[in-house]
């Protein structure tokens, strides 16, 4: 039986983390056999999906406000199907339908593979559906081979789902389920497939990649990386996220051994105060964290270390917050993502006393950001005069186009390109035009760049090759 519902348009609004970016790719692939192709024009869409994030209250509000703005589209085109997917959908389930009468479908994080049937049923019967059923393990047909568009140089590959850590501020175990890993063979097949479609760099995704395959008795994460390193045609490997308590020596040594593994690790510390780390249920101390950083740097001196910080966790005293600032200085991160703590449904910290006021939380956030900005600038400045290998990911944004949508380039100066170093720093450079086929000229190539200038969020350089 042909599944095609005719030529249709699918609009997906992706919010949140890389996991959702990957899931959106899966959604598009699942919908393609039904005749759906992606659109960026809401007015042309036959199905609109908002792929939501529940990690912070603000992200959840954003999802509901986007859904609210879709009402006029539904009024204009009653056959339009509006769906909410992702973590907020999983968390709120039936409540979404009562709150948003124009929403037709709520599908949870484990329901993506059932999406085509759900959409077909709604199109045929105009019913409203909630599917938030969760499975305890990954099924063999849960993931389709990853999708790469013709311009994708770097992409994500999900290697596991869910989390068993239950940090007290986090909703992930509740909305993504218990930890479960994909088989190594499936992951390698997906990466080979992506490389065959032009991908040069993959980022392996999981909430805690360090515990990859433990439950299932697969190989260790370091052994999986070894297999990925052997994939022909792949240039670079990254991964995220690592829980500091599970960062093994075997994995740290992989940074020295594996040729394609980029010297960058995202290692969320969350706080520099042991009492706060205990209340967060992180199961490491600030000392243990610093020891792991020291070991990483002794194994791979040029490794870039980035992290996450939560400010204003319930009960966080001035002294505890100062310990976080101190740790930031001690470690000297290459970059930081800092967040204000917000209560999340189902997370134990909701019930914790001594909540910190909004003004104080904002003040603490600003202190962290200011501190890190100085450090990042210094780290970037230290790279001026060095030669960096970058993987070119395409033309820099904000370029000018003429009336015929051709790039406006000065033949002498060239056009601006960008790429990333192994340490994940963005580098811009100019390259004189050689032919009309701009995008195919350099995209996906590894280039040697002499760094000439450091900015706060990127570097500027001159190509040597
Ligand atoms: S490790 Fe903690 S913060 Fe990370 S996903 Fe699991 S529960 Fe959430």
The pLDDT assigned to 144 comes to: 82
Asked if 10 and 49 touch (Cβ cutoff 8 Å), the reply is yes
Topology classification of domain 387-463: OB fold (Dihydrolipoamide Acetyltransferase, E2P) (2.40.50)
Cβ atoms < 10 Å from Cβ of 7: 9
- Span from the CA of 406 to the centroid of ligand 1 (angstroms): 46
CA distances 437 to 176, 318, 395, 429, 433, Å, are 43, 57, 12, 18, 9
Q: Where are the extended beta strands (E) located within 317-441?
A: 335-340, 387-395, 415-421, 426-431
**Atom 8 of ligand 1, nearest CA residue:** 170
**172 CB near ligand 1 (under 6 Å):** yes
What three-state secondary structure class fits 381?
A: helix
Say how many Å lie between the CA of residue 98 and the centre of ligand 1. Answer: 30
In sequence order, what are the beta bridge partners of 420? 391, 426
Pick the CATH number of 154-381 from 3.30.1370.60, 3.80.30.20, 3.40.50.300, 3.40.50.2300: 3.80.30.20
- Beta pairing partners, 426: 420
The DSSP-derived string for 164-208 is S---TT--HHHHT-S-EE--HHHHHHHHHHHHHTT--EEEEE-TT
- State the distance from the centre of ligand 1 to the C-alpha of 456, rounded, in angstroms: 29
Domain ranges (residues) in the chain:
8-131, 154-381, 387-463
**What's the pLDDT score for residue 413?**
59
Pick from 90, 164, 173, 310 the residue to mutate for probing ligand 1's pocket: most ligand atoms within 8 Å of its CB: 173
| Whole-number Cα distances in Å, 285 to 244, 277, 328, 451 | 10, 7, 14, 37
pLDDT of res. 408 = 52
According to the model, what pLDDT value does residue 1 have? 37
Q: What does pTM read for this prediction?
A: 0.90
Q: Could you identify the atom of ligand 1 that is nearest to the CA of residue 176?
A: 5
Q: What is the pLDDT along the chain (465 residues), one digit of tens a residue?
A: 345 566 899 999 999 989 999 999 999 999 999 999 999 999 999 999 999 999 888 999 999 999 999 999 999 999 999 999 999 999 999 999 999 999 999 999 999 999 999 999 999 999 999 999 999 888 878 888 777 665 689 999 999 999 999 999 999 999 999 999 999 999 999 999 999 999 999 999 999 999 999 999 999 999 999 999 999 999 999 999 999 999 999 999 999 999 999 999 999 999 999 999 999 999 999 999 999 999 999 999 999 999 999 999 999 999 999 999 999 999 999 999 999 999 998 899 999 999 999 999 999 999 999 999 999 999 999 999 999 999 999 887 655 555 555 555 544 456 788 999 999 999 999 876 666 565 567 889 999 999 999 988 899 999 996
- How many Å apart are CA 403 and CA 141, to the nearest integer? 47
Give the pLDDT score at 143.
Answer: 85
Question: Of 165, 169, 269, which is best to mutate to test ligand 1, by the most ligand atoms within 8 angstroms of its C-beta?
Answer: 165
Distance 243 CA to ligand 1 centre (A): 8
CA separation, residue 125 to residues 96, 104, 119, 128 (Å): 20, 11, 10, 9
Give Cβ neighbours of residue 172 (< 8 Å, ≥ 6 apart).
55, 87, 162, 163, 207
How far is it, in rounded angstroms, from Cα 418 to Cα 428? 4
Please tell me if the CB atom of residue 165 comes closer than 6 angstroms to any atom of ligand 1: yes
Atom of ligand 1 nearest to the CA of 207: 5
Q: What pLDDT score does 412 carry? A: 44
Task: List, for residues 218-270, the tens digit of each pLDDT value.
Answer: 999 999 999 999 999 999 999 999 999 999 999 999 999 999 999 999 999 99
Is the minimum distance from the CB of 208 to ligand 1 under 6 angstroms?
yes
Residue 271 Cβ inside 6 Å of ligand 1? The answer reads no
Largest alpha-carbon pair distance within the chain?
Answer: 66
Q: Calculate how far, in angstroms, residue 370's C-alpha sits from the geometric centre of ligand 1.
A: 26
pLDDT of 60: 93
CATH architecture of 8-131: 3-Layer(aba) Sandwich (3.40)
Characterise 51 by phi-psi region: left (phi > 0), alpha (psi -120 to 50), beta (else).
beta
């Amino acid at each position: 039986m042909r599944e095609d519902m005719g030529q249709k348009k699918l609009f997906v609004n992706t919010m949140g983390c890389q996991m959702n970016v990957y899931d959106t790719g899966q959604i598009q692939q699942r919908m393609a056999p039904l005749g759906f192709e992606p659109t960026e024009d809401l007015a042309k869409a036959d199905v609109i999906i908002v792929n939501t994030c529940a990690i912070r209250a603000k992200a959840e509000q954003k999802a509901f406000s986007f859904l609210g703005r879709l009402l006029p589209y539904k009024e204009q085109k009653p056959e339009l199907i509006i769906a909410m997917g992702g973590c907020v959908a999983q968390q709120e389930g039936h409540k979404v339908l009562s709150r948003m009468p124009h929403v037709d479908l709520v599908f949870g994080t484990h329901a993506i593979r059932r999406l085509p049937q759900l959409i077909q049923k709604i199109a045929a019967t105009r019913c409203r559906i909630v599917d938030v059923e969760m499975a305890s393990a990954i099924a063999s047909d849960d993931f389709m081979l990853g999708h790469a568009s013709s311009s994708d140089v770097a992409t994500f590959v999900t290697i596991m789902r869910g989390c068993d850590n239950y940090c007290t501020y986090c909703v992930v175990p509740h909305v993504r389920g218990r930890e479960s890993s994909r088989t190594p063979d499936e992951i390698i097949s997906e990466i080979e497939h992506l490389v065959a479609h032009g991908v040069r760099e993959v980022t392996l995704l999981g909430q805690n990649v360090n515990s990859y395959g433990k439950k299932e008795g697969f190989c260790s994460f370091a052994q999986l990386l070894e297999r990925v390193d052997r994939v022909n045609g792949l240039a670079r490997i990254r991964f995220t996220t690592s829980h500091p308590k599970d960062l093994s020596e075997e994995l740290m040594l992989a940074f020295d051994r594996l040729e394609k593994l980029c010297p960058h690790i995202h290692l969320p510390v969350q706080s520099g105060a042991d009492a706060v780390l205990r209340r967060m249920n992180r199961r490491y101390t600030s000392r243990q964290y610093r020891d792991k950083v020291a070991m990483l740097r002794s194994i791979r001196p040029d490794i870039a270390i980035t992290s996450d910080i939560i400010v204003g966790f319930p009960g966080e005293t001035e002294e505890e917050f100062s310990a976080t600032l101190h740790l930031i200085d001690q470690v000297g991160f290459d970059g930081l993502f800092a967040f204000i703590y917000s209560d999340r449904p189902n997370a134990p910290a909701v019930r914790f006393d001594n909540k910190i006021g909004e003004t104080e939380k904002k003040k603490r956030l600003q202190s962290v950001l200011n501190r890190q900005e100085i450090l990042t600038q210094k780290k970037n400045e230290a790279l001026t005069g060095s030669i960096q290998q970058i993987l070119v990911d395409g033309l820099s944004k904000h370029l000018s186009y003429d009336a015929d949508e051709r790039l406006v380039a000065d033949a002498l100066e060239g056009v601006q390109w960008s790429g990333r170093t192994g340490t994940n720093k963005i580098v811009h450079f100019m390259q004189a035009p050689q032919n009309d086929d701009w995008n195919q000229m350099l995209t996906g190539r590894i280039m040697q760049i002499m760094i000439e200038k450091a900015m706060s969020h990127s570097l500027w350089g001159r190509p040597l090759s």
